[in-house]
């Protein structure tokens, strides 16, 4: 990564470190490496660290940070600390490479937009399934809903805009595509992505020790399953 990261305030209790403005695995690797580094350092006063495609936002408690920075503002103090860390070692904490295999049923009864997309993209449903499932996706970030993974990047042949009118209810487990991204709705929710399948895996469960199955930086592979298999797994 060649561009120098830019640190900007995000209001008076947060800041964002921009590592670039593109979605690619190099930038993302830098984001996650820095995410790990900051987590390990546990700097007093930092309450949240939010990774995104090419940035990392840090939310802090002004009072806690100011306990260590009497002469500077909380922002200036954290900006200095971050700059120091950025200037020292890169990739100090290599990201763990967790892999998840997620079964997906691409049957049109659950992948409600799959037929329309095949027509629109001039692909057979089989080709579409092949293009979507024959790829390793990275979870660039979680957002929108608890545990909603923004994953990339899709094969360019599958690039498609969001639906003009969002649906009012998309079922939990639905696999969506939008732009060059793919995602999984962890909960029943309104949404504007094109739905091509559904997984029986529960991405979010509030009473689980880790409510969200996927974490930023994880890798995901989709495995096609039949409707029968989908029904069987969903009943487990």
Partner 1 sequence: MNITVVKHGVYDTIQDMGRTGFQHEGINVNGCMDRIAAEMANALVGNSSSEPLLELHYPASSLLFDITTLIAITGADFSPYIDDIPVSNNNTIKINAGSTLQFRKRKKGVRAYIAIHGGWEAELWLHSYSTNNKASAGGYKGRILKKGDLLKNKQTKYLFNTIFHKKNFDTIPLKINLSGFYINSRLIRCTIGSEFKWLTEESKNIFQLNQHKLTMQSDRMGYRLQSDKLSMSENAPTRLSSGVTLGTIQFLPNGQLIILMADHQTTGGYPKIAHVISADIHKLAQLGPNSIINFTLVSQKEAEQSFLQQRFELDQLKKRVVAKFLKVFTDEID
What the block records as the tokens of 188 is 């029943």
Q: Which stretch binds partner 1 (CB under 8 A): 17-25, 100-108, 111-119, 194-202?
A: 17-25
Q: Which stretch binds partner 1 (CB under 8 A): 7-15, 92-100, 168-176, 223-231?
A: 7-15
Angle at 23 between CA 203 and CA 133, to 5 degrees: 50
Q: Which is nearest to 219 in space by CA: 103, 139, 148, 102?
A: 139
For residues 19 and 3, give the distance between their C-alpha atoms in angstroms, rounded to a whole number: 7
When binding is defined by CB under 8 A, the residue of 187, 192, 224, 233 that contacts partner 1 is: 187
Count residues near partner 1 (CB under 8 A).
Answer: 49
Angle at 127 between CA 123 and CA 133, to 5 degrees: 130
Binding-residue pattern over the window 192 to 221 for partner 1, x denoting contact by CB under 8 A: ------------x-xx---xx--xx-----
Residue 224 forms beta bridges with which residues? Answer: 104
Is residue 34 part of the contact set for partner 1 (CB under 8 A)? no
Q: Which stretch binds partner 1 (CB under 8 A): 81-89, 125-133, 138-146, 224-232?
A: 138-146
When binding is defined by CB under 8 A, the residue of 5, 30, 36, 74 that contacts partner 1 is: 74
Cβ distance 182 to 132 under 8 Å? Answer: yes
What the block records as the tokens of 225 is 């399953």
Q: Which is nearest to 206 in space by CA: 156, 152, 145?
A: 145
| Strands 46-51 vs 149-152: parallel, antiparallel or unpaired | unpaired
Q: Which stretch binds partner 1 (CB under 8 A): 58-66, 85-93, 119-127, 167-175?
A: 58-66
Binding site for partner 1 (CB under 8 A): 8-14, 16, 18, 21-23, 35, 47-57, 59, 62-63, 66, 73-75, 141-148, 150, 187, 189, 204, 206-207, 211-212, 215-216
């Amino acid at each position: 990564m060649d561009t120098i990261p830019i640190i900007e305030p995000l209001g008076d209790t947060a800041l964002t470190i921009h590592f670039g403005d593109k979605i690619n695995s190099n930038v993302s690797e830098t984001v996650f490496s820095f995410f790990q580094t900051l987590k390990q350092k546990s700097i007093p006063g930092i309450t949240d660290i939010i990774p995104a495609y090419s940035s990392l936002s840090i939310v802090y408690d002004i009072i806690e940070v100011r306990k260590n920075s009497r002469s500077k503002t909380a922002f200036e103090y954290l900006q200095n600390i971050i700059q120091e860390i950025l200037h020292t070692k890169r990739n100090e904490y290599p990201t763990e490479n967790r892999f998840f295999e997620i079964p997906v049923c691409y049957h049109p009864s659950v992948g409600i937009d799959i037929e329309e997309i095949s027509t629109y993209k001039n692909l057979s449903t089989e080709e579409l399934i092949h293009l979507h499932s024959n790829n390793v996706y990275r979870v660039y970030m979680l957002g929108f809903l608890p545990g909603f993974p923004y994953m990339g990047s899709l094969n360019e042949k599958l690039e498609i805009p969001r639906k003009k009118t969002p649906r009012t209810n998309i079922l939990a487990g639905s696999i969506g595509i939008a732009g060059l991204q793919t995602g999984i709705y962890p909960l029943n929710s309104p949404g504007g992505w094109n739905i091509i399948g559904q997984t029986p895996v529960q991405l979010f469960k509030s009473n689980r020790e880790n409510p969200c199955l996927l974490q930023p930086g994880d890798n995901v592979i989709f495995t096609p399953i039949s409707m029968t298999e989908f029904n069987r797994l969903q009943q487990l």
